[in-house]
Amino acid sequence: MTVKFPEVWDLEVLFPGGSNSKELRLHIEKTNSDLAELEQLAENFEVPASEKDEAAIVTMLETVKGIMQQLNQAGSFIGCLQAQNTEDKKAAILQSEDAVLNARFQTALQAIQQQLAKTEENVWKALLDSESLKEFSFVLNEWREEANMLLSEKEENIITSLSTDGYHGWSQLYDMLVGDIKIKMNIGGEEKILSVGQANNLSSDPDAAIRQQSYEKMEAAWTDKEEFFAKTLNSIGGFRLEVYKKRGWDRVLQEPLHMNRMKQETLDAMWGAISKNKQPFVDYLNKKGEMLGKDGLDWFDVDAPVTESTQQFAYQEGAEFILEHFGKFGPELQKFAVQAFEKGWIEAEDRPNKRPGGFCTSLPMTEESRIFMTYSGSMSNVATLAHELGHAFHSHAMQPVHPLNRSYAMNVAETASTFAEMIVADAAVKNAQSKEEKLALLEDKLQRSVAFFMNIHSRFLFETRFYEERKNGVVSAERLNELMEEAQQEGFAGGLKSTHPHFWASKLHFYITDVPFYNFPYTFGYLFSLSIYAKALEEGSQFEEKYMALLRDTAIMTAEDLALKHLGEDITQQAFWEKGIALCVKDAEDFNALVSSVG
């Protein structure tokens, strides 16, 4: 019998004393002086002239590594302090201190990267072939490539300084505009004033009239301010396109594809495979409409609950459920999770003043992780816990890898988490005690598929089309509504009775300036993980070794090479993507069959 797992995490072993920790203070001071050393090094760093500069580069990389580890250790710890107690004012101060250190680190690193980029081709090749630098060739090539994609240092500095007000300022204005909107709702005869966030939460309200009212009130608010949102979106898009033009980047997707280390063909294959397989999800949406007593499904009913999972698990039970099913996939995953539960790596207690949501953060210096969430006993909590454990397992698998080779991109970041969550979500469906329970769990999975295959697809279609039209001038609010409705019709394959024309105004993701095309990497990650899961189902627990080898390599090769090396798959072909989609199609078919059989 397993010992009882703690529900509160242990942060004391990292830095004793929370936000008053003397050890943390010392750690920050050390980082501060090490950073000064790096800044000095960056200032004197010269363009490598011959193979003899190998040693200087190794020294530089070791310094960069050391500081990176220290910054991550402190940053993760401070993030944990803030999450566990939102009233911890000292933690907030520590966080801004940490942000300053991080910015200094980035600046110094960029200066070094600029110098490396200037290395002559034959010298560069010889350096990367050397014994001590071979291991870093992917990362170093990427640094060099990125620096070469940019304009001169002077020109890039001008862009960076102008973008504070001319680019990021628009994104902040968007947040202000949305923050200023108040939604007047009539709930149960009482008038309530809600923020956009609160009104959005009503999209899954069990009462159909409330869902519809909140949608209509919000749509009216977006319509009322549409000119402001159109101006904001056009300004962000215009700035981005102008920078791309100056740098000589002719495709809007060049930057996001590069950031995700993937090819255009891969993205096309993914959407192609998804587009071909939408019918079962359209059938599911229609079935859902029927269950709600309607003829077809409206936009505002997509998140409506049709059945409810009522099964409850005490924390210990939830943990044991996870461990049991992890064990079927591999001994290492199970062993790792036991350790995370036992050693107090998880903060799950349901108490006030905790931040909402969940995350997993890694502490590279002590080779540990911490998981944060609020566990209240639902199956969805159990799945979240498994998801975060998956992230921690990814860090665990990468431990043998040099810290500079651990920065994986957004599209593969959710591989291990989705994989772990799938194990538990599938087991839960099989374990369901009643048809109602089974339907609720299947629906939970299907809602994810609809979000990734239909909703995010429509965002992608909208965004690419908007950027194409923006190249020729400002796109009017009226045209943005048209583009959005067309994209939703196509993304949902006509599966909705009504669309959401002002979705482009309501979705924060279109206004994020730090990450362009924020959405498609999530669909990639979900399907990539599902394909690996499909392989694991085929091969059984012996697959684990291959799986861990894949995770280890997530930050040192392109997405295409990763899949080819570890899965023997060509992800530029639709056939690869169809394997993951097939699992989701099965969910839809099971759901549709089960609904028909419930009397």
Which residues of this protein are in contact with Zn ion, per CB under 5 A?
Answer: 417
Beta bridge partners, 193, equal: 184
Nearest distance in Å: CB 346, Zn ion: 15
Nearest distance in Å: CB 417, Zn ion: 4
Q: Kindly tell me which of 185 and 392 has the beta carbon lying closer to Zn ion.
A: 392
Q: Kindly tell me which of 284 and 419 has the beta carbon lying closer to Zn ion.
A: 419
Name the residue whose CB lies closest to Zn ion: 417
Residue 340: name the closest of 300, 370, 305, 378 by CA: 370
* Distance from C-alpha of 363 to C-alpha of 57, rounded to nearest angstrom: 26
Longest CA span, the chain: 79
The residue to which tokens 């600029």 are assigned:
114
Nearest distance in Å: CB 421, Zn ion: 8
Q: Kindly tell me which of 420 and 559 has the beta carbon lying closer to Zn ion.
A: 420
Nearest distance in Å: CB 547, Zn ion: 17
Nearest distance in Å: CB 337, Zn ion: 16
Nearest distance in Å: CB 228, Zn ion: 33
Nearest distance in Å: CB 387, Zn ion: 6
Nearest distance in Å: CB 358, Zn ion: 8
Q: Kindly tell me which of 392 and 496 has the beta carbon lying closer to Zn ion.
A: 392
C-beta separation of 481 from 223 below 8 A: no
Q: Kindly tell me which of 492 and 522 has the beta carbon lying closer to Zn ion.
A: 522
What count of other Cβ atoms lies within 10 Å of the Cβ of residue 257? 19
C-beta separation of 489 from 515 below 8 A: no
Residue 284: name the closest of 297, 275, 268, 274 by CA: 297
Q: Kindly tell me which of 223 and 374 has the beta carbon lying closer to Zn ion.
A: 374
Q: How far is CA 576 from CA 136, 408, 534, 572, in A?
A: 29, 21, 11, 8
Nearest distance in Å: CB 553, Zn ion: 19
Residue 304: name the closest of 315, 290, 316 by CA: 290
Q: Kindly tell me which of 417 and 455 has the beta carbon lying closer to Zn ion.
A: 417
The two structure tokens encoding residue 382: 């159990």
Residues 6+ apart with CB under 8 A from 188: none
Q: How far is CA 584 from CA 97, 246, 299, 400, 587, in A?
A: 45, 43, 21, 34, 5
* Distance from C-alpha of 382 to C-alpha of 314, rounded to nearest angstrom: 10
Count the helix, strand and coil residues of the chain and give each as a percent rounded to the nearest 5: 70, 5, 25
DSSP for 422-438, written as a single string: HHHHHHHHHH-SSHHHH
Q: Kindly tell me which of 214 and 418 has the beta carbon lying closer to Zn ion.
A: 418
Q: Kindly tell me which of 287 and 391 has the beta carbon lying closer to Zn ion.
A: 391
Q: Kindly tell me which of 318 and 525 has the beta carbon lying closer to Zn ion.
A: 525
Nearest distance in Å: CB 521, Zn ion: 12
Nearest distance in Å: CB 412, Zn ion: 12
Sequence-ordered alpha helix ranges (H) in 118-168: 121-129, 137-149, 153-163
Q: Kindly tell me which of 492 and 520 has the beta carbon lying closer to Zn ion.
A: 520
Q: Kindly tell me which of 277 and 415 has the beta carbon lying closer to Zn ion.
A: 415
C-beta separation of 516 from 570 below 8 A: no
Nearest distance in Å: CB 525, Zn ion: 9
Q: In this structure, which long-range contacts are made by residues 83-89, counting pairs with CB atoms below 8 Å and at least 24 apart in sequence? A: 83/347, 83/354, 83/355, 83/359, 83/372, 84/9, 84/11, 84/347, 84/354, 84/355, 84/372, 85/353, 85/354, 86/353, 86/354, 86/355, 87/353, 88/18, 88/19
Nearest distance in Å: CB 124, Zn ion: 36
Q: Kindly tell me which of 417 and 554 has the beta carbon lying closer to Zn ion.
A: 417
- 3-state DSSP assignment of residue 355: coil
* Distance from C-alpha of 480 to C-alpha of 471, rounded to nearest angstrom: 14
Q: Kindly tell me which of 409 and 493 has the beta carbon lying closer to Zn ion.
A: 409
Residue 237: name the closest of 481, 456, 463 by CA: 463
Residue 369: name the closest of 14, 3, 41 by CA: 14
* Distance from C-alpha of 7 to C-alpha of 220, rounded to nearest angstrom: 44
Nearest distance in Å: CB 57, Zn ion: 34
